A and B are shown apart, each in its own frame.
Chain A
């Protein structure tokens, strides 16, 4: 019991110090700015993707949500990603590991197009 407490304390202290240093040294840094934690949303409303062009950092996970009464898909024009059909309120997520521009469309209603720019 005593030994375990010591171990927890031993680990906790440097972590806390690191966090304090981080907060003190660069107060503007938040979790969302770190590529590994970045997320972004695209809403599907009225047969369109919003925002139509989305810019995210490398490593960001983008989640599309279908808010129409009609099913849609999210399909990369270049074959990079492809969702199953998404009915009302269903979601699709994809994590962008590499920088680049990723055009996509709804394969059911191909007039619906969008783009993710990964920087």
Chain B
């Protein structure tokens, strides 16, 4: 990052800290800043810093912690876009184990397997056992619930879940909600949460304090990234409606195999890279299928998302790192 860009970020930070909020300018700044950036949330307003150097010094104090989001490992995929998805998942685990601040746990935002086969789930579990963080929280992608309506997924990952696999948990003051939006998809439609899950979610957050930081994670984006390719969830607005009272909401998704960010009021949306293969930018190809890139470029388009929470600031910061 050039000094000029860094200066611009610092300037924007100062504006934000002085309550001279200039979100339009900030977002413009984000557009060129791309993925090598920390997102910090403060009272629902995101601020950014050039990443890595500022995270380390405060992390680990008090209730601070971090977790890592991985996504779309597509175990079993063996086409030209990546003939060795085991190796790239292993590289993601190595990346996690090399982080300066070790994450408390991992979130996997779905498409664990390519074809929902038991040996594919087994392989992912096996590779993830090598991660320093032992707890992994999953939500299913559409590739994890093929043919059996999610039965084998639920048997393996849904022991503490409701319905098709949704659940929530609390970690050091942050409330996490794992949602399922890949079941009972209707012809011509997008991702779907469904009435039963929405009802559950409304009750789940009803009694939480407004100051509770919320992290929602689900496979398909909970915002309209590109509906033409099915990159959105038809009833996400209702889900997000239940979160309006909270000052800090972070939504983490996968599915689109690339990073994308959006800020809307109190909500920061973020999508993670895949550990298996990249997909084209919206509308930049005939279809959202796997994108074949030169072998030496592949790992620069795969990656993980390191998410940091610093207590007292109600802040969350997302750092995307590539595998190569």
Count chain B residues whose beta carbon lies closer than 8 angstroms to a beta carbon of A.
24
Residues in A with CB closer than 8 Å to B288 are 47
Task: Report the nearest A residue to B290, measured CB to CB.
Answer: A69
Residue of B186, B230, B290 with most partner-chain A CB within 10 A: B230
Are the C-beta atoms of A71 and B185 separated by less than 8 Å?
no
Asked whether, in the complex, the Cβ of A70 is within 8 Å of the Cβ of B289, the reply is yes
Bound CA span A104–B231, Å:
20
Q: Among B80, B114, B147, B290, find the residue whose CB has the most chain A CB atoms closer than 10 A.
A: B147
Is A93 located at the chain interface by the 8 A CB criterion? no
Closest to A109 in B: B230
Structural contact, A87 and B289, CB atoms closer than 8 A = no
* B79 and A88 contact, CB distance less than 8 A: yes
CB-contacts of A82-119 with B (<8 A): 84-85, 87-88, 103-105, 107-111, 113
Question: Given that A105-B188, A109-B230, A113-B188 are known contacts, is A47 also in contact with B146, CB under 8 Å in the complex?
Answer: no
Residues of A within 8 A of B80 (CB): 69
- Taking a contact as CB atoms under 8 Å apart, the answer to whether B143 and A108 are in contact is yes
CB neighbours (8 Å) of B188 from chain A are 105, 110-111, 113
Q: Tell me which residues across on chain B come within 8 A of A110, comparing CB atoms.
A: 185-190, 230
Q: Please give me the residue from chain A that is nearest to B81 by CB atom.
A: A69
Chain B residue, CB-CB nearest to A85: B146
A12 to B80, CA, bound (A): 54
Question: Contact mask A10-31 → B, CB, 8 Å, 1/0?
Answer: 0000000000000000000000
Of all chain B residues, the one with the shortest Cβ separation from A68 is B289
Q: Which of B25-73 contact A (CB under 8 A)?
A: none
B80-92 to A contact mask, C-beta < 8 Å, 1/0: 1100000000000
Digit string of A62-82 for contact with B (CB within 8 Å is 1, else 0)? Answer: 000000111101000100000
In the assembled complex, which residues on chain B have CB atoms less than 8 Å from the CB atom of A113?
A: 187-188
Report the minimum CB–CB distance from A10 to chain B (whole Å): 53
Determine if A103 and B187 form an interchain contact, defined as CB atoms under 8 angstroms apart. yes
Tell me the residues in window 126-155 of chain B with beta carbons closer than 8 Å to chain A beta carbons: 142-143, 146-147
Of B142, B228, B289, B290, the contact of A108 (CB 8 Å cutoff):
B142
Within 8 A of A (CB), among B214-248: 228-230
Report how far A48 CA is from B188 CA in the complex, Å.
12
For A110, the closest partner residue in chain B by CB is B185
The complex places the Cα of A68 from the Cα of B185 at a distance, in Å, of 20
Determine which residue in A70, A88, A105, A109 has the highest number of CB atoms from chain B within 10 A of its CB, and name it. Answer: A70
A47 touches B115 (CB 8 A): no
Interface flags for B90-104 (1: CB within 8 Å of A; 0: not) read 000000000000000
List A contacts of B187 (CB < 8 A). Answer: 77, 103-105, 110, 113
Q: Which residues of A contact B147 (CB under 8 A)?
A: 84-85
Contacts of B196 in A (CB 8 A): none
Q: Does A46 contact B (CB under 8 A)?
A: yes
**Docked CA distance A70–B279 (Å):** 12
Residues of A within 8 A of B287 (CB): 46-48, 68
B185 touches A107 (CB 8 A): yes
Contacts of A48 in B (CB 8 A): 287
For residue A103, which residues in chain B have a CB less than 8 angstroms away from its CB?
187
Chain B residues whose CB sits within 8 angstroms of the CB of A71 once the complex forms: 114-115, 143, 146
Task: Determine whether B199 belongs to the interface, using a CB cutoff of 8 Å to chain A.
Answer: no
Instruction: Please tell me if B296 contacts chain A, counting CB pairs below 8 Å.
Output: no
Q: Is B286 an interface residue (CB 8 A)?
A: yes
In chain B, positions 280-308 with a C-beta closer than 8 Å to chain A are 286-290
In the complex the two chains form, what is the Cα distance from A104 to B189 in whole Å? 13
A-B contact pairs, 6 of them (CB 8 A): A48-B287, A69-B290, A70-B290, A73-B146, A108-B146, A111-B190
Known: A69-B81, A110-B188. 13 other contacts (CB 8 A): A46-B286, A46-B289, A48-B287, A68-B289, A69-B79, A70-B289, A103-B187, A108-B142, A108-B143, A109-B230, A110-B187, A110-B190, A111-B229
7 closest Cβ pairs, A-B complex:
A105-B187, A46-B287, A47-B287, A110-B185, A111-B230, A85-B146, A69-B79
B contact residues vs A (CB 8 Å cutoff): 79-81, 114-116, 142-143, 146-147, 185-190, 228-230, 286-290
